[in-house]
Amino acid sequence: MRRLFLTVLVVACAAPFCAAAQAASAAPARVVVQVSEADPARWTLVLNNVKNLQDDLGADKVTIEIVAYGPGIGMLKFDAPTNSRITDAAKAGVLIQACENTMRNQKLVRADMHPNVTYVAAGVTQIIKRQQEGWAYLRP
């Protein structure tokens, strides 16, 4: 009888305990990185930051998603000066997302974009959603 109560107790408490503990450092690192400026020097900084995170934590220990929107969309165009580094980042497992809202406003189509890019309806919603799922936010 005592054993039954203790078992129920442990099972019932394990869920909240784990959920709460996920907020702490035991959780795998997940980071959403925002690109919202038209400056190629900032794009290079973003790509350096992503590479440093992977080098420092181990590429398999950190999940990274770059989201480019507004004036930042230029980083993901096929003819951007960052083209080869986007290829490298994608090969290294980084998810690279372009905002379709922005593309529509700037008359960009998928053929204009880097082939390793994937798409979200609204970049800003994606950035908020990731944070509310517990991801860290980086705005270089």
Residues forming the site for its own copies (CB under 8 A): 1-2, 4-6, 8-10, 12-13, 15-17, 19-25, 27, 29, 31, 34, 36, 41, 45, 48-49, 52-53, 55-57, 62, 70-71, 101, 121-122, 124-125, 127-129, 131-134, 136-140
The radius of gyration of the chain's CA atoms, rounded to the nearest angstrom, is 19
Tell me whether residue 93 or residue 134 sits nearer to its own copies (CB atom): 134
| Rounded (10°) CA dihedral 129, 132, 136, 138 | 40
CA torsion sign, 109 to 115 to 120 to 125? negative
Enumerate the β-bridge partners of residue 65: 32, 95
**In whole angstroms, what is the distance from residue 109 CA to residue 88 CA?**
23
CB of 112 to its own copies, least distance (A): 20
Tell me whether residue 12 or residue 109 sits nearer to its own copies (CB atom): 12
Any idea what DSSP says for residue 121?
S
CB of 116 to its own copies, least distance (A): 22
CB of 115 to its own copies, least distance (A): 26
Tell me whether residue 75 or residue 127 sits nearer to its own copies (CB atom): 127
CB of 15 to its own copies, least distance (A): 6
